[in-house]
Amino acid sequence: MSNLVDLATQYPLLIVAVVAILFATAGWMLERDHPARATLMRRFGYLGLIAVLLLQVGISAMEAEKSDAAFEFGSRPAVTVKGRETIVPLASDGHFWVEAQVNGQSQEFLIDTGASFTGMSRAAAGAAGISPAADLLPLELETANGTIGATIGRARTLSFGGITVQNLEVAVPTSGHDKTNVIGMNLLSQLASWRVEGNKLILVPKG
């Protein structure tokens, strides 16, 4: 009995599929003596099998690290920490994404090794309480969309996985509606090392 309970716990869709097949089979066996009941049982069995198939397809799509479906539904591959290494899997769009805490606020960031500065949208910076620092002059940044003006503020803390940096300079555009937050080289240069292995970005903090 305990084996059946364990099986049902580990493979619930398999149990549902078996029950659905049994209902459909019983429906065919009862066709001659109880046609109405047989039809109902077959329909129940078929619907159960269709539901199992759709659920399995959805689960597989969401769990795949490079699944287009996972990307479309807003799912990113999970960041893991192994020893001192923070491992960021490649997302389906070909970029490395992390969910970071900025001054205690959760924000999604693209890790861009080609960006000099860490940057945040005006809305994200406002939510994290980041305002232009009086001792840091505005600057111009080269982006994929051309040159933009930006003010520089400071994040008290920015952390994800096993990485935490403090008093990080953050560029905030003075205009535009870009919603993408970017982790750039001014953060990566504070690490002991970073490297790309296959479809994973591996970050190692100092100390």
The closest of 141, 138, 139, 170 to 154, measured between CA atoms, is 170
Cross-strand partners of 66: none
Q: What are the phi and psi torsion angles at 135 (to 5°)?
A: -95, 5
Handedness of CA 188, 194, 199, 200 (dihedral sign): negative
pLDDT tens-digit readout, 58-102: 655 554 444 444 444 456 789 999 999 999 999 989 999 999 999
Q: Which tokens hold the place of 201? A: 């970005």
How far apart, in whole angstroms, are the C-alpha atoms of residue 82 and residue 74? 25
Quick one: pLDDT at residue 143?
65
The residue ranges of every structural domain in the chain are 2-63, 68-204
Quick one: pLDDT at residue 12?
75
Residue 10 pLDDT > 70? no
Q: Which residue has the higher pLDDT, 194 or 141?
A: 194
Class of domain 68-204: mainly beta
What is the reported pTM?
0.62
Q: Which range in 50-54, 117-121, 172-176 is most confidently predicted, on average pLDDT?
A: 117-121
* Rg value, the chain, Cα: 26
Sort strands 181-183 and 163-173 into parallel, antiparallel or unpaired: unpaired
Q: Which residue has the higher pLDDT, 69 or 206?
A: 206
CB within 8 A of 70, min separation 6: which ones? Answer: 61, 62, 63, 64, 76, 77, 92
Mean pLDDT for the chain overall: 82
Handedness of CA 156, 158, 163, 167 (dihedral sign): negative
